Amino acid sequence: MASIIRNLFLRSLAVQPPLKFNDLRCNFSISASIHSKTTRKNKVKKASKSSSNNSVINQSKLSQVKRRTRSEKELDEETFLNKYGNDNSAHVPVLLGEVLDVFTSVTLRSFLDCTLGAAGHSSAIIRAHPEMQVYVGLDVDPIAHQMAQSQLKSILERDSLDTASALKVHTFLKNFKDVKSVLGEVADDLLACGVNGILMDLGMSSMQVNDAERGFSVLKNGPLDMRMNPKATLKAEDVLNSWPADELGRVLREYGEESNWYSLQNRIVKARLHGGLHSTNELVDLIKNSTSRTKGRQGWIKTATRVFQALRIAVNDELKTLEDSIRACFESLSSGGRLAVISFHSLEDRIVKQAFLNIMTCSEVDGSGVEDEEGKRLRELRKTNLDTVKEEAWIKQVIQGQTGTILTKRPITPSEKEETLNPRSRSAKLRVIQKA
């Protein structure tokens, strides 16, 4: 049996001659060729997949652009740089040209600025409307209030020979939630008849951010304060060192929209065992140590910005009263009057958008479901107003409601030129509603 197997093995060797060098080279070439083709196919597949991914990303970016209405307003770069270019501390009014357009077609005999700041918007609006007779300005920040008073005074003195000399200016160190009581204090008939225009600029001013002692800046060391009203009792330091862990986590999650909120919450609570956090630098260092190093400087800055935003909102109770204040402002408008609101982060913008929609759905029918005389009057007035607003170039799409018209179906955002010259404007959104 063994001999038979040996003979078969030797016969197989005779049938298959030994491989020569050229045969080996040929086999290697064939193998290399097959490998090369396979590699090329994989590269083509990867390139195709990468191109497809890039296409998806580009389409996503395009859809984001379509969801907003970028301003087409031309910004005079030379004038802008001459006024603000060399002064980093100066407060630059955002979307100024766009705000002026909002009120151009409105006869502003009365105007209310709910967030005075440095009076940048108000100054321009007063100059653009010599017919204005009553101006009311509010700000809860005493430093901003003082600066605004000085600015408004200089305008009146400069224009003393014009019709602006008849303008009565009233400024109050109050929050915009007190809008109705303030208007009643100015004049009894002002609240009854309503004001022709109202502006709410919800952003922080540069003078607040640049003042390290206020505690608003991520890049400047200062106390963990963050109070808009220095007389208020609650500080950011109190939230960080005293609030229950779950409440602190809610603030970071809901107000800051921070995905890493749970880790930050635990680190902040742990820091309390070693004396707590008492300066902005200490908080920033904690955030840096909680942020992935691979994200680099921009990673921790974005996280810190969200955390600071969350604390500022909590300290000043910004969101709780915003919707009620918007409704109070709308109710304080005269027929045909306009309310313009500039927001700077998604939480505010969602509240403004929803508040406008809620205002629009107010019922105009009586209990029986039959439209009353007042409802008919408002309906006819809306038709007239709608025909008028369509003539204004800045208005693209409107939403007509029962009590008014939203003139910005999509919010207006700064032009590319403004974003370049004033990076702080890049997140600004302007929404406008007109009363029937």
Mean pLDDT of 11-35: 43
Confidence of residue 14 (pLDDT cuts 50, 70, 90): very low
pTM listed for this prediction:
0.78
233-280 tens-digit pLDDT: 999 999 999 999 999 999 999 999 999 999 999 999 999 999 999 999
Whole-number percent of the chain with pLDDT over 70: 73
What's domain 209-316's architecture? Orthogonal Bundle (1.10)
**What is the pLDDT averaged over residues 366-390?**
59
Asked whether the beta carbons of 117 and 154 are under 8 A apart, the reply is no
- H or E stretch covering 198: strand 195-201
Rg (CA), the chain: 32
pLDDT category, 9, cuts 50, 70, 90? Answer: very low
- The region of weakest confidence among 82-91, 102-111, 175-184, 375-384 is 375-384
For residue 114, what pLDDT is reported?
96
Does position 105 have pLDDT exceeding 90, yes or no? Answer: yes
- H/E stretch holding 152 reads helix 142-158
Q: Which of 394, 378, 368 is nearest to 98 (CA)?
A: 394
Calculate the alpha carbon distances from 293 to 253, 257, 263, 397, 429 in Å: 22, 21, 15, 44, 32
**Mean pLDDT throughout 202-224?**
90
pLDDT for position 4 = 52
Confidence bin at 57 (pLDDT 50/70/90):
very low
Averaged over 55-71, what is the pLDDT? 55
Pick the range with the lowest mean pLDDT from 88-92, 170-174, 411-415.
Answer: 88-92
Confidence of residue 24 (pLDDT cuts 50, 70, 90): very low
The H or E element that residue 389 is part of is helix 373-389
Q: In this structure, are residues 107 and 197 in contact, taking their beta carbons and an 8 Å threshold? A: no
Highest mean pLDDT among 57-71, 150-164, 326-340: 326-340
Looking at the chain, the number of H-run helices and the number of E-run strands are 18, 10
What is the pLDDT confidence band of residue 367, given thresholds at 50, 70 and 90? very low
Phi, psi angle pair for 38, to nearest 5°: -60, -40
How many other CB atoms are found less than 10 A from the CB of residue 288? 15
Q: Is the pLDDT of residue 20 over 80?
A: no
Residues 257/262/264/266 CA torsion (nearest 10 deg)? 150
Per-residue pLDDT at 31: 44
pLDDT score recorded for residue 309: 95
Mean pLDDT of 72-98: 78
From the list 384, 326, 348, 62, the residue with the least C-alpha distance to 198 is 326
pLDDT of residue 155: 82
Query: What's the start-to-end Cα distance of the chain, in Å?
Result: 110
Which pairs from 261-265 meet CB under 8 Å and 24+ separation?
A: 263/290, 264/290, 264/303, 264/307
Most confident stretch, 5-14, 76-85, 158-167: 76-85
Mean pLDDT of all residues in 330-359: 95
Compute the residue count for the chain: 436
Please state which architecture CATH assigns to domain 90-202+330-364+371-435.
Answer: 3-Layer(aba) Sandwich (3.40)
Question: Which of 48-62, 142-156, 157-171, 216-230 has the weakest average pLDDT?
Answer: 48-62
Higher pLDDT, 90 or 218: 218
Q: What SS3 state is found at 194?
A: coil
| Distance of alpha carbon 320 from alpha carbon 176, whole angstroms | 12
Widest pairwise Cα distance in the chain: 130
Question: How many Å separate Cα 91 from the centre of its chain?
Answer: 17
- Spell out the domain ranges in the chain: 36-67, 90-202+330-364+371-435, 209-316
